[in-house]
């Protein structure tokens, strides 16, 4: 018994010693930690701070893109990211839960507001809850939510649903110079344990000027509780973000709108494979508008898959006859272009190959070089090249900077290719085939024509402004890049090109704009076949027009091109004119460029001509610059319209009825008002279709008419009339060609 008690005492003593030693060790360890603040080489203070010290990124704002007047084209806007808290430990009051309690109901409600199925949302909530995640986001579908969507979801009062404030790139004009401006995309980057989203430019200005537009993110550090909430009375350490700089373009939003509207109309009506156009300041090279179809919406990227390239910068193509502008200017500069000198049109032999004019090589007989330019004769250009010499013209091509990038500082600028190794390539280059160029190169070269020989580099950036100081850190000015021709040559070239739109047989008559003289050149080029050679068919062409106005002192250059339009009987110039004409007209008027003033017509008061001799009345009216129209072969006047004491302007028609048999006048190009004057006087019943001016009549000119007879006339607007005339001439030539072939067949034995 005593022995057991002694053993118990010894055991107790041993245990006491052991516990005393353990206590001493623990006390010593605690004391050491208290004194040094370290355990196993780790600073406990720092680790405690790290546990409760939160660091969040303060996102910087991306710089805004403006037009030259300050109108916003692209800017950052507030958006929201949807998130769901899954950790139940955040809920302190069960009656007011702060985490998702019912994944099924939550998914059902959220599916109404974001582009995600109910089952997918529910599965995500349950899957991440099982993994022990504190919260979960909903990917792309849950980002970039608008404030209105946020408010609608908040009104549902779903437990655990929160919103993280974010920013998104916003393009207020929608589909608006989209390939020029580009778009941005958010990418995920890891910084330590954090995943942050960075906005990066992916195309156009957004990409090319990324280093200016992107800002530098700031950060905020603060002490928080277990759930990440800021502790009261605790200081925050903030490093402010540095926002991006603001880019101001040379673009004018108003002119860009004119261009977008015209492109929309042509896309809708003709469904082309491509359509593109740009507007430039003729004196400085500033790009005022630039657009293309197909295009895309930069907010949604809808349509981007159809074409990633900026066609005005990255697409090189055969220019067709617009290249003749620069062949003509070179020939004038060399002194070998004489407008009244004649040549034989139709064909031009180059070795074993024949160069043909665009009417199948039929030509127009012996014509002047001026008429050759107006008719867009390939043979005229071949002759001018021969007179200059191929090496001389090659130097002009270099001087006009063909085959070189313009240096506009936009991504992936093409430089085209001058094919000039063999005689045939040299000749075809002179009229725009084989060799390839870009729209920007054509416009840059055209500034030498519009700017008295001084060629200006096209540019799109006006200035870049520092976000903090509001001072320009980049400022672009007009830059002269060459002087390929003299002032006198530029003036003469404009005069010749003006006749392309005004001469009776000018190929550019459809590009006339009321009140303004337009100088320019049409272009038609075959589309290359990816397998070699060219595509065939009436629609497989690039139709274009390079025009400048007002012709005497151009202020604007407009280049428009339409590739593979779906035509139904129209010429390829029609869809191009539906871009060029409204854009040039509206832009000139918007810029307050006054239309050409025509002398005021003098008012004439008519007197009665009844009983007077026809010859005397005609002579008197012509002397007053009035246009007399005589109906009949009589010697005396028995009726007139307008009547005596009526007032009319110089140039108007006066219908005179004679005492002989009344005959039908030629009413071509008459207005409906003049048709009614003559019909009322002769007692005819009039029926008409269309509007504008007369293009046909059922009673032939010179044929006697009787009272009560029916007169039917067809009217057309001016641009329709021009097209009608062109088609009639082509038809007549084709019929004449067929008749000749039939006669030759009959002659054969």
Catalytic residue among 167, 178, 321, 330: 321
What confidence category does residue 329 fall into, taking pLDDT thresholds of 50, 70 and 90?
Answer: very high
Whole-structure pTM value? 0.72
- Percent over 90 (pLDDT), the chain: 52
Q: Are 651 and 601 in contact (CB under 8 A)?
A: yes
Handedness of CA 485, 487, 493, 497 (dihedral sign): positive
Q: Which CATH class is domain 261-590?
A: alpha beta
d(CA 507, CA 500): 6
DSSP bridge pairs for 528? 534
87-91, 131-135, 462-466: which is most confident:
462-466
Closest among 426, 346, 336 to 387, alpha carbons compared: 336
User: Per 3-state DSSP, what percentage of the chain is helix, strand, and coil (rounded to 5)?
Assistant: 35, 25, 40
- On the question of a common fold for 57-249 and 603-722, the answer reads no
Residue-wise pLDDT for 229-241, tens only, equals 444 444 556 677 7
Residue-wise pLDDT for 704-715, tens only, equals 988 889 999 888
CATH of region 603-722, choose from 3.40.50.720, 3.30.1280.10, 3.30.10.20, 3.40.309.10: 3.30.10.20
- pLDDT of the residue at 404: 97
| DSSP codes, 136-161 | EE-GGGGSSB-HHHHHHHHHT--TTE
213-227, 371-385, 431-445: range with lowest mean pLDDT: 213-227
Residue-wise pLDDT for 124-169, tens only, equals 988 988 888 888 888 888 888 888 898 999 999 999 898 887 778 8
Active site (annotated) includes residue 321: yes
Answer whether residue 641 shows pLDDT above 60. Answer: yes
Q: Are 220 and 248 in contact (CB under 8 A)?
A: no
Answer whether residue 743 shows pLDDT above 50. Answer: no
Domain 57-249 coded CATH 3.40.30.10: no
d(CA 710, CA 708): 6
- For 135, other C-beta atoms within 10 Å of its C-beta total 17
Domain boundaries, the chain: 2-54, 57-249, 261-590, 603-722
- The mean predicted confidence, pLDDT, of the chain is 86
27-36, 572-581, 730-739: range with lowest mean pLDDT: 730-739
What confidence category does residue 744 fall into, taking pLDDT thresholds of 50, 70 and 90?
Answer: very low
d(CA 450, CA 54): 63
Question: Under DSSP, is residue 637 helix (H, G, I), strand (E, B) or coil?
Answer: strand
């Amino acid at each position: 018994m005593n022995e057991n008690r002694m053993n118990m005492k010894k055991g107790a003593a041993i245990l006491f010693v052991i516990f005393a030693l353990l206590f001493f060790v623990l006390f010593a360890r605690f004391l050491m930690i208290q004194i040094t603040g370290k355990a196993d080489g780790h600073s406990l203070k720092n680790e405690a701070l790290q546990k409760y010290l939160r660091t969040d990124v303060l996102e910087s704002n991306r710089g805004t893109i403006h037009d030259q007047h300050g109108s916003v084209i692209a800017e950052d806007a507030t958006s929201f990211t949807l998130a769901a808290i899954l950790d139940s430990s955040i809920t302190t009051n069960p009656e007011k839960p702060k985490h998702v309690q019912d994944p099924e109901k939550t998914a059902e409600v959220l599916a109404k507001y974001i582009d995600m199925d109910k089952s997918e949302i529910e599965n995500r909530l349950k899957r991440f809850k099982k993994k022990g995640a504190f919260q979960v986001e909903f990917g792309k579908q849950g980002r970039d939510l608008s404030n209105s969507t946020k408010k609608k979801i908040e009104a549902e009062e779903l437990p655990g649903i929160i919103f993280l404030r974010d920013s998104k790139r916003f393009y207020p004009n929608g589909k608006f110079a989209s390939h020029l401006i580009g778009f941005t995309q958010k990418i995920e980057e890891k910084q330590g344990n954090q995943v942050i989203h960075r906005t990066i430019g992916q195309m156009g200005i957004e990409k090319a000027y990324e280093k200016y537009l992107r800002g530098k993110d700031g950060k905020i550090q603060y002490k928080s509780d277990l759930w990440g909430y800021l502790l009261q009375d605790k200081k925050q350490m903030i490093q402010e973000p540095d926002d991006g700089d603001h880019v101001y373009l040379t673009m004018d939003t108003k002119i860009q709108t004119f261009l977008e509207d015209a492109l929309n109309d042509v896309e809708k009506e003709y469904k082309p494979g491509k359509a593109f156009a740009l507007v430039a300041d003729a004196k400085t090279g500033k790009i005022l508008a630039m657009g293309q179809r197909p295009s895309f919406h930069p907010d949604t990227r809808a349509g981007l898959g159809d074409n990633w390239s900026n066609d005005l910068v990255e697409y090189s193509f055969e220019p067709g006859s617009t290249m003749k502008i620069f062949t003509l200017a070179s020939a004038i500069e060399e002194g070998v272009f004489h407008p009244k000198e004649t040549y034989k049109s139709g064909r031009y032999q180059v070795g074993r190959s024949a160069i043909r004019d665009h009417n199948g090589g039929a030509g127009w007989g012996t014509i002047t070089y001026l008429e050759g330019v107006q008719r867009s004769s390939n043979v005229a250009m071949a002759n001018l090249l021969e007179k200059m010499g191929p090496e001389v013209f090659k130097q002009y091509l270099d001087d006009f900077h063909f085959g070189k990038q313009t240096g506009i500082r936009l991504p992936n600028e093409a430089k085209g290719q001058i094919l000039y190794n063999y005689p045939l390539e040299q000749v075809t280059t002179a009229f725009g085939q084989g060799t390839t160029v870009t729209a920007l190169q054509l416009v840059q070269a055209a500034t030498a024509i519009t700017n008295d020989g001084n060629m200006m580099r096209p540019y799109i950036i006006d200035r870049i402004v520092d976000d903090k100081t509001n001072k320009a850190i980049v400022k672009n000015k007009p830059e002269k890049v060459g002087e390929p021709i003299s002032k006198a040559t530029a003036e003469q070239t404009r005069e010749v090109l003006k006749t392309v739109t005004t001469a009776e047989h000018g190929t550019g008559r459809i590009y006339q704009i009321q009140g303004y003289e337009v100088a320019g050149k049409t272009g038609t080029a075959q589309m290359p076949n990816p397998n070699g050679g060219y595509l065939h068919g009436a629609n497989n062409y690039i139709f274009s027009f390079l025009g400048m106005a007002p012709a005497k002192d151009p202020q604007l250059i407009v280049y428009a091109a339409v590739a593979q339009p779906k035509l139904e009987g129209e010429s390829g110039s029609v869809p191009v004119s539906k871009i060029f004409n409204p854009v040039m007209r509206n832009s000139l008027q918007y810029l307050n460029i006054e239309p050409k003033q025509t002398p005021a017509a003098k008012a004439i008061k008519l007197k009665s001509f009844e009983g007077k001799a026809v010859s005397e009345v005609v002579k008197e009216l012509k002397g007053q610059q009035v246009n007399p129209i005589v109906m009949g072969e009589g010697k005396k006047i028995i009726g007139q319209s307008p009547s005596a004491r009526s007032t009319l302007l110089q140039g108007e028609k006066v219908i005179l009825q004679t005492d002989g048999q009344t005959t039908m006048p030629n009413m071509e190009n008459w207005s409906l008002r003049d048709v009614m004057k003559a019909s009322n006087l002769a007692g005819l019943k009039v029926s008409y279709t269309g509007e504008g001016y007369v293009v046909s009549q059922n009673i032939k000119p010179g044929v006697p008419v009787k009272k009560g007879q029916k007169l039917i006339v067809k009217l057309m607007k001016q641009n329709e009339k021009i097209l009608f005339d062109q088609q009639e001439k082509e038809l007549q030539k084709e019929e004449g060609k067929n008749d000749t072939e039939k006669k030759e067949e009959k002659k054969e034995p």
